[in-house]
């Protein structure tokens, strides 16, 4: 009988020790783990989405994870950013996955971005720099009006726009020359503008392709 009681007592003691250990861990270890609420997507968010605070909900995460600085920790940081990858529901948002729109697409979300074919001669001798504002003009040739009459050549103002990128003919960012190489010529000017202004620019480009017009770029007055 005694031989049967001893294993039972050992089992009871082991169970009690396990319960006490679990209780101790819960009350002492977990209480020492600091938690913080951070924004996580309510549903999967696809890339190229302008983020707003109402797309997110707050969820508790260990502060130690957040202290690494790799994740966005408030709705204020998320609001107004743009997703560059799919943001999965319920997971923290890494900083590299949600960035300012201007950093990702060169311009504010309210504006379209368009490239213009140019050359140095008609683009201030190539002396245009990132961040400057330029005026775009269309130099339109005389047109046949019938009965031997022709219209006068015309200079038409197209748009005043900021420059968001300057590229070489292969689309690479323009690099300045140095002692061993020649500077690359300006071939592509990238600007940002509202949709209606972009249409005017495209109309002007179409005239250069089909009606012999010329695009001319000037530095806008401050």
What is the dihedral sign for C-alpha 119, 140, 154, 220? negative
- Please compute the mean of the pLDDT values over residues 178-185 and round it to a whole number: 63
Q: What average pLDDT score do residues 174-184 get? A: 62
Q: Are 48 and 83 in contact (CB under 8 A)?
A: yes
Per-residue confidence at 168, pLDDT binned at 50, 70, 90?
Answer: confident
pLDDT at 151: 78
Tokens, residue 86: 């799919």
Does the pLDDT of residue 127 top 80, yes or no?
Answer: yes
Query: Distance between CA atoms of 33 and 71, rounded to whole angstroms?
Result: 18
**CATH code for the part of the protein at 35-103:** 3.90.1210.10
Q: What is the rounded distance in angstroms from the CA atom of residue 222 to the CA atom of residue 219?
A: 9
Residues 204 and 213: their CA atoms lie apart, in Å, by 8
Give the residue-averaged pLDDT of 176-188: 68
- Contact partners, residue 41, CB within 8 Å, separation at least 6: 55, 56, 87, 88, 89, 90, 91, 93
* Segments of the chain assigned to CATH 3.90.1210.10: 35-103
Q: Is 179 exposed, middle or buried (0-12, 13-18, 19+ CB in 10 A)?
A: exposed
Top-confidence residue, 29 or 156: 156
Mean pLDDT within 50-67:
87
Structure tokens at 7: 């294993």
**What's this model's pTM, rounded to 2 decimal places?**
0.71
Distance CA 50, CA 135 (A): 29
Model confidence at 174, pLDDT cuts 50, 70, 90, reads: confident
pLDDT number for residue 144: 73
């Amino acid at each position: 009988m005694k031989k049967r009681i001893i294993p039972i007592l050992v089992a009871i003691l082991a169970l009690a020790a396990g319960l006490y250990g679990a209780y101790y861990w819960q009350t002492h270890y977990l209480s020492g783990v600091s938690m913080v609420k951070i924004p996580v997507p309510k549903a999967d968010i696809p890339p190229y989405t302008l983020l707003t605070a109402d797309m997110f909900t707050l969820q508790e995460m260990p502060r130690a994870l957040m202290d690494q600085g790799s994740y966005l920790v408030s709705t204020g940081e998320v609001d107004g950013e743009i997703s560059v990858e799919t943001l999965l529901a319920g997971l923290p948002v890494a900083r590299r996955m949600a960035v300012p729109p201007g950093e990702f697409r060169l311009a504010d979300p309210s504006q379209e971005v368009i490239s213009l074919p140019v050359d140095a001669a008609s683009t201030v001798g190539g002396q245009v720099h990132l961040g400057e504002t330029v005026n775009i003009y269309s130099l339109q040739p005389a047109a046949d009006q019938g009965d031997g009459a022709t219209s006068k050549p015309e200079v038409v103002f197209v748009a005043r726009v900021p420059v968001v990128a300057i590229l070489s003919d292969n689309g690479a960012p323009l690099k300045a020359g140095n002692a061993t190489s020649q500077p690359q010529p300006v071939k592509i000017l990238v600007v940002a503008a509202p949709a209606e202004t972009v249409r005017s620019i495209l109309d002007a480009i179409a005239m250069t392709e089909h009606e012999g017009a010329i695009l001319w770029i000037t530095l806008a007055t401050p």
